């Protein structure tokens, strides 16, 4: 059968791929493999496209987005692949096909899957999503010391592997609140530098403080004092006028209030860092840590129960899953959707970010935790697990007594608590209108 001519326009910049131990051509070859383990072995941060005749395969790491749009031309289908919705819109406009665009027609490649499209012309069949990462669940014993040792060993291993890929003199920043995730990352980086015979002086812990306030600044100082790392701390003060949620909507191309708020404070921090350090590139954060250990308040989401949280595979990393009716084709779900709040903000200010908590080896340990048995249906037990697991692991693996403080969202810790309602009014409709207005201007 003779198929129409099909084109693939790839807009992902080659320099944005950060592969470990292989080049991009080898990664693409693995993407074409029928063996999921070949794709899982692609190491680093990637957003890949590979073509084999009429088949186009796409895959990404959890830490970054990858989107596509199937356009129609007289001589056959045209697949546009990019990181951002506005890049797709701009390419369609450049080709004279702007009338085909709507943001809801774009699709996000779901993390941990190879997405295969067949460009055969109208009607094009639905994409097929083949999972390449499927760690066994609940296989660890009900022993928090064992779980903590396994979890932090995986964390530390990923930090060391990442560090080995970097220039030995490049400064490293940690967006730092003194919470469990950023605290454990800072401690692991400090130890990894020492174990590699490098100076921890290249490491800094950056804490955002809005209008000179916020509990994070106080908490960060206490964390650093109690761990003997005061010399690493640096507070970054910004005025509340630097927080612009509507700008954040445009940067992350999303309208979910918590992600917009987080992006707004992240943009303020990264903008201030860029002014202070024009040449700084590397940032390591704790994104994904809450998702791994299911540390989100169930009471704030009417769709969730503790049973759904502990019994669904990688719920907070992937959402309800590609086979679920609740799965968003435009955005994906869970951190697979939320990764833009870190990645897009970093890209906007010229930073390269890494989180060991988004790496498959760390997620695999988290999935092996017997959450249902450990929590026995108790929200309070679930929320206490993260601090217990990570602090025990830090003690066993790194020999460090890590302070554990109550959970606090980034956007809430950076400002004084009484200012939260004023600075972050929970108004999804406002953010949706902003999103729609931005894309109406592109159409």
Q: Count Cα neighbours of 355 within 13 Å in the Cβ-side half-sphere.
A: 25
At residue 426, φ and ψ (nearest 5 deg) are: -75, 90
| Residue 327 and residue 314 in contact, taking contact as beta carbons nearer than 8 Å | no
Of 252, 208, 272, 212, the closest CA to residue 347 belongs to 252
The arithmetic mean of pLDDT across residues 243-249, rounded, is 96
- Does 169 score more than 50 pLDDT? yes
- In the chain, the percentage of residues whose pLDDT exceeds 70 is 98
Question: With bands split at pLDDT 50, 70 and 90, how would you rate the model's confidence at 442?
Answer: low
CA dist 439 and 443 (Å) reads 6
Question: Hey, what are 392's tokens?
Answer: 């025990």
- pLDDT of 120: 77
- Does 249 score more than 60 pLDDT? yes
Angle in degrees, CA 157, 388, 320, rounded to 5: 75
| Residue 373 and residue 142 in contact, taking contact as beta carbons nearer than 8 Å | yes
CA dist 209 and 275 (Å) reads 16
Question: With bands split at pLDDT 50, 70 and 90, how would you rate the model's confidence at 427?
Answer: confident
Question: With bands split at pLDDT 50, 70 and 90, how would you rate the model's confidence at 124?
Answer: confident
- pLDDT of 4: 60
Q: Which residue has the tokens 């761990």?
A: 227
The arithmetic mean of pLDDT across residues 422-433, rounded, is 91
Of 104-118, 282-296, 408-422, give the lowest mean pLDDT range: 408-422
- pLDDT of 119: 84
- pLDDT of 1: 43
pLDDT in tens, 269-301: 999 999 999 999 999 999 999 999 999 999 999
- Does 3 score more than 70 pLDDT? no
- Does 75 score more than 90 pLDDT? no
Give this prediction's pTM: 0.96
Question: With bands split at pLDDT 50, 70 and 90, how would you rate the model's confidence at 203?
Answer: very high
- pLDDT of 66: 98
The arithmetic mean of pLDDT across residues 231-258, rounded, is 96
231 to each of 185, 200, 238, how far by Cα in Å? 16, 10, 21
Average predicted confidence (pLDDT) for the chain: 95
CA dist 326 and 405 (Å) reads 34
CA dist 437 and 24 (Å) reads 37
- Does 76 score more than 90 pLDDT? no
The arithmetic mean of pLDDT across residues 125-139, rounded, is 95
The arithmetic mean of pLDDT across residues 407-425, rounded, is 91
The arithmetic mean of pLDDT across residues 185-192, rounded, is 98
Angle in degrees, CA 244, 248, 254, rounded to 5: 145
Three-class secondary structure of residue 406 per DSSP: coil
Helices 144-164/180-195 angle, 10° precision:
60
- pLDDT of 426: 81
- Does 192 score more than 80 pLDDT? yes
Of 65, 62, 104, 127, the closest CA to residue 318 belongs to 62
Going from the N-terminus, what domains does the chain have, and what CATH number goes with each? 7-131 (no CATH), 144-431 (3.40.50.620)
- In the chain, the percentage of residues whose pLDDT exceeds 90 is 90
Cβ within 8 Å of residue 147, ≥6 positions away: 140, 141, 365, 369, 389, 392, 393
Three-class secondary structure of residue 2 per DSSP: coil
Of 292, 282, 262, 281, the closest CA to residue 359 belongs to 292
| Residue 192 and residue 184 in contact, taking contact as beta carbons nearer than 8 Å | no
Of 43-52, 117-126, 260-269, give the lowest mean pLDDT range: 117-126
Rg (CA), the chain: 22
| Residue 80 and residue 93 in contact, taking contact as beta carbons nearer than 8 Å | no
pLDDT in tens, 318-347: 999 999 998 999 999 999 999 999 999 999
Which residues, in sequence order, are bridge partners of residue 236? 208
- Does 86 score more than 70 pLDDT? yes
- Does 5 score more than 70 pLDDT? no
pLDDT in tens, 334-383: 999 999 999 999 999 999 999 999 999 999 999 999 999 999 999 999 99
Pairing of strands 233-238, 43-45: unpaired
Q: Which residue has the tokens 């680093």?
A: 44
- Does 443 score more than 80 pLDDT? no
């Amino acid at each position: 059968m003779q198929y129409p001519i099909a084109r693939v326009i790839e807009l992902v910049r080659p320099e944005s791929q950060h592969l470990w131990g292989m080049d991009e051509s080898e990664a693409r070859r693995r993407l074409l493999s029928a063996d999921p383990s070949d794709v899982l072995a692609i190491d680093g941060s990637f957003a890949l496209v590979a073509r084999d005749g009429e088949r186009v395969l796409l895959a990404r790491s959890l830490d970054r987005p990858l989107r596509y749009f199937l356009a129609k031309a007289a001589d056959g289908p045209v697949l546009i692949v990019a990181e951002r919705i506005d890049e797709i819109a701009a390419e369609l406009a450049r080709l004279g096909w702007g009338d085909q665009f709507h943001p809801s027609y774009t699709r996000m490649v779901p993390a941990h899957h190879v997405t295969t499209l067949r460009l055969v012309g109208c009607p094009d069949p639905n994409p097929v999503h083949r999972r390449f990462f499927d760690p066994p669940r609940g296989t660890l014993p009900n022993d928090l010391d064992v779980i903590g040792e396994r979890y932090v060993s995986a964390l530390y291993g990923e930090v060391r592997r990442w560090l080995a890929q970097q220039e030995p003199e490049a400064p490293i920043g940690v967006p730092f609140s003194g919470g469990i995730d950023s605290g454990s990352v800072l401690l692991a980086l400090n130890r990894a530098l020492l174990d590699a015979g490098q100076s921890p002086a290249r490491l800094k812990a950056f804490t955002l403080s809005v209008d000179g306030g916020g509990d994070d600044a106080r908490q960060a100082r206490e964390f650093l004092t109690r761990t003997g790392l005061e010399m690493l701390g640096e507070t970054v003060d910004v005025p509340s006028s630097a927080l612009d949620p509507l700008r954040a909507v445009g940067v992350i191309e999303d309208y979910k209030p918590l992600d917009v708020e987080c992006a707004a404070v992240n943009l303020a921090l990264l903008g201030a860092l860029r002014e202070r350090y024009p040449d700084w590139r590397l940032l390591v954060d704790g994104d994904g840590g809450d998702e791994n250990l299911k540390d989100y308040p169930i009471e704030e989401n009417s769709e969730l129960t503790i049973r759904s949280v502990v019994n669904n595979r990688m719920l907070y990393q992937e959402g309800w899953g590609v086979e679920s009716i609740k799965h968003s084709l435009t955005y994906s779900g869970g951190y697979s959707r939320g990764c833009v709040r870190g990645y897009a903000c970093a890209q906007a200010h010229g930073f390269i970010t890494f989180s060991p908590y988004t790496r498959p080896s760390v997620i695999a340990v988290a999935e092996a935790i017997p959450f249902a048995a450990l929590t026995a249906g108790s929200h309070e037990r679930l929320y206490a697990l993260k601090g217990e697991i990570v602090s025990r692991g830090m003690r066993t693996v790194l020999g460090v007594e890590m302070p554990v403080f109550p959970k606090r969202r980034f956007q809430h810790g950076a400002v004084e608590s009484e200012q939260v309602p004023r600075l972050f009014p929970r108004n999804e409709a406002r953010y949706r209108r902003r999103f729609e207005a931005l894309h109406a201007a592109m159409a």
